[in-house]
Structure 1
Amino acid sequence: MSNFPPAELDAIARQIQTPYYAYSVQAIRARIASLQNAFRGLDVRICYAVKANSNLAILQLMALHGVGADIVSLGEMQRSLKAGIPAERIVFSGVGKIAEEIDAALAAGVWRFNVESADELQLLQRVACSRGVCARAAVRINPDVDARTHAKISTGKAENKFGVSIDEARRWFADAASLDHVQLDGLHAHIGSQILDLEPFRLALQRVEAFRRELVEAGHAIASVDIGGGLGVVYRPGIDTPIEIADYAALVRDTFAEFKGTLALEPGRWLVAEAGVLVTRAIRVKHGTDRQFLVVDAAMNDLLRPSLYDAWHQIVPLHGRDEPDVAYDVVGPVCETGDTFAQGRAMPRCEAGDLLMIGGAGAYGASMGSTYNSRPLPAEVLLDDGRYAVIRRRQTIAEMMAGEQFPQAWHET
């Protein structure tokens, strides 16, 4: 975690209250450049998965480097546009799009919609007709491939809620002439997240390409193929072995060698996860009957992944002292047993007041945060070559309650 010098994190902690998130501009820039270089020479549109980290400053960084956006809500679209990402570089995904969102996206002029059900396709047709425009769409196919990742982030198996079968997609294209306000000319597939094995990608992409060729032979023009995201990162140093980006790019080049249209990528976690940390302070050490609890001021409302996915995150004390290792259960203040970051984790002995850094927190950290237990959302800062900027100040308790009110008027139901 060389992008996060302990002295810098300590200096920031003296200025703003912990817990706080810190993101490295240099690390994100390096990932963007690596991806762009790997696909140089191809007609590729990189659309960052906004759900991974939707802070406006992160989105602005993407925009400045020519990266588009993969969105799943109206809010994510508005964030992306405000950050400077052009509408023509935005793709709208998600299983639950509603008419209001579709209408707003059409008005903004987003590049295309990844359609996930027959009902959604008909809704897109109706909304586009009412607006008098033609929506460009891709069908999200479910290739029924096991991504070999956590069950809760697997999206490409038949039992998952995402996409439609190839058989159903085939019927959509056969009836495409009836859609006078939808141009169905794309394919989309995304099989899951945190994938560390190239084989699931190989199998899924081969199925997508075989279907694309079938459609072309049947007379259907396919202008784009969106191959999703899912590239894994290192959460457990020495254990997690990510796919080399050059190997992934070579697979894509080989699989789609005959395709002359636009390829779209939807990286999220891979771009930002390792570029972010959560800085927290030890409140106390509690000695249990047979365990030692290191109680910190961050909690599951700040970083949900360990509680939701049993996710492993590296935890590093920043005190710099030469201390013997102690096995701690690292826990937060929230009144849930699940508010646990690690169990029996060996680390140098800590004391109340010590800072700790939780690694791999740049993706699905702040973006999944909540105010559970009436805990304000933490601050976020951006680090760049020895300087930092606050990109979201810590929420105050008054701000947290601002949308609530006592009953002012009662209305008949």
Structure 2
Amino acid sequence: MADMNFTGPEPDLNELLAARPQLGLHAQDGLCLENVPLNAIADQYGTPVWVYGAQTMRARFAALRDAFAAETVPMHIHYAVKANDHLAILNLFHEQGAGADVVSIGEFLRATKAGIAARDIVYSGVGKSEAELETALSAGIGQINAESAEEVDMISAIAARLGVVANIALRMNPDVDAGTHAKITTGLAENKFGIAAADIPALYARASGLPGVRVAGIAMHIGSQILSTEPYRHAYGKGAEMVRALREAGQSVEVLDLGGGLGIGYQDGPGLSPAAFAAMVRQATNGLGVKLMMEPGRYLVGPAGLLLASVILRKQTGKRFLVLDAAMNDLMRPAMYEAWHGILPVDAAAFQGMATPADVVGPICESADQFAKDRILPDLRPGARVALLDAGAYGAVMSSAYNARPRAAAVLVDHGGFELITRRQEPEALWDGEIVPGA
């Protein structure tokens, strides 16, 4: 099971640990997140359990913000709610000054519940319904990134009926290959997202004359888990060319929304450097005189979260299996994307033990329920705890109750302590709301 962005030998336990300053290993307490022992969390709340580091998220937001400040590039940062929509996390980024990027009315309502003002929210996504648009416009949403001519007409009709003005940006598909997994690319012509660049000028001109619509500018998003600045440089160059062409045609262009997608290091690499990204943005947009916006998600929350699990049993059938109490219903990424997640034992002594290959799997009745194949790990006995790393993004938000498995609890680590932010789902809640006719 290999991440498509990972080549070369797999990092060992100590290399994984060394690459993550938010983690530490204490001789007696074992593996810690932000100096809080994971064993203490598991002792109190059981496993599987999501664990998030608040200070790690704050530090990553500050690193991105400061990188743009160093390049004297004013950047409006909107956290991509789809990466992790927990109210506690949304509130944390709101306190740091972030807006929100949402792709459904549920995410919009979550963001406002967490204290983010509607005017600081960008609504993206290819399939916004009339009811969703009406709710967002009635609440005074800041910007809608329109993905088609048909959507522009929908927005105009709804806004005119409500007597409001919708600020929109046209999402341009730049047809740029970001070099990521096929299931997370969004900027190719074959993808469902955005409007072909050739169609932008005519639609921009027509939309500018529609009732209830104010066309603010251009939006882009080319994919997720991007580890090089080059795809961005190519795409943003096309975006800058479009801004200039529209202005030459007499259109007003005030906004260039750059999207998100900054990759992180799932193995022992650093991921995409905020400083390199900010420098590239400055070069690509120099002299445009537009309001710059971006919507990072994974970069901010991915390394801040982990899934804490326990070994149920060891199984030997010609090869070694470690069966965890966590499963693909908890962390879907390995099954869906062949994604690679580091796995560390929580016990400090295990780091010194002899390590051999093992498949790390869950208890679900699917062959895809596998977290790692032939991973070099020590002899972990039933009851031993492990941390599945870099699971703060697209982990809990993609989880389900498949196989009637209750959803896991979640804990936030902050200021040397920890606090429950999601209760473990009770088994009875699995069928709450269901109706048996005639019963």
TM interval, short-chain normalised:
over 0.9
Query: Which stretch of the first structure deviates more once superposed, 85-94 or 250-259?
Result: 250-259
Deviations 1:168-212 (A, max 9, x none): 111112213431211112100100000011110000000000010
Query: AA paired with 1:20?
Result: V
1:80 and 2:111 matched: yes
Query: Which stretch of the first structure deviates more once superposed, 314-323 or 103-112?
Result: 314-323
Query: AA paired with 1:314?
Result: G
2:323 to 269, 272, 295: 295
1:207 and 2:238 matched: yes
Identity of aligned residues (%): 46
1:50 to 81, 86, 101: 81
Q: How does 1:11-410 map to 2 (within 5 A)?
A: 11-40=40-69, 41-237=72-268, 240-288=269-317, 290-321=318-349, 322-407=352-437
Deviations 1:304-343 (A, max 9, x none): 0000000000001112223210211000011000000001
Distance 1:255 1:12 in 2: 45
Shift of 1:400: 2.1
Query: Which stretch of the first structure deviates more once superposed, 305-314 or 39-48?
Result: 39-48
2:343–2:388: 8 Å Cα contact kept in structure 1? yes
Distance 1:4 1:200 in 2: 31
Query: AA paired with 2:376?
Result: A
Q: TM-score, normalised by structure 2?
A: 0.91
Query: Could you say which residue in structure 1 is the equivalent of 2:9?
Result: none
Distance 2:292 2:340 in 1: 33
Q: TM-score, normalised by structure 1?
A: 0.96
Shift of 1:404: 1.0
Shift of 1:12: 0.9
1:376–1:397: 8 Å Cα contact kept in structure 2? yes
Distance 1:89 1:408 in 2: 48
Distance 2:388 2:208 in 1: 53
Shift of 1:384: 1.2
Distance 2:208 2:154 in 1: 16
Classify the secondary structure of the residue corresponding to 1:107.
helix
Q: RMSD of aligned C-alpha atoms?
A: 1.2
2:152–2:207: 8 Å Cα contact kept in structure 1? no
Unaligned runs of 5+ in 1: none
Query: AA paired with 1:312?
Result: W
1:196–1:241: 8 Å Cα contact kept in structure 2? no
Shift of 1:2: 4.2
Distance 2:297 2:286 in 1: 25
Shift of 1:4: 4.1
Distance 1:323 1:250 in 2: 44
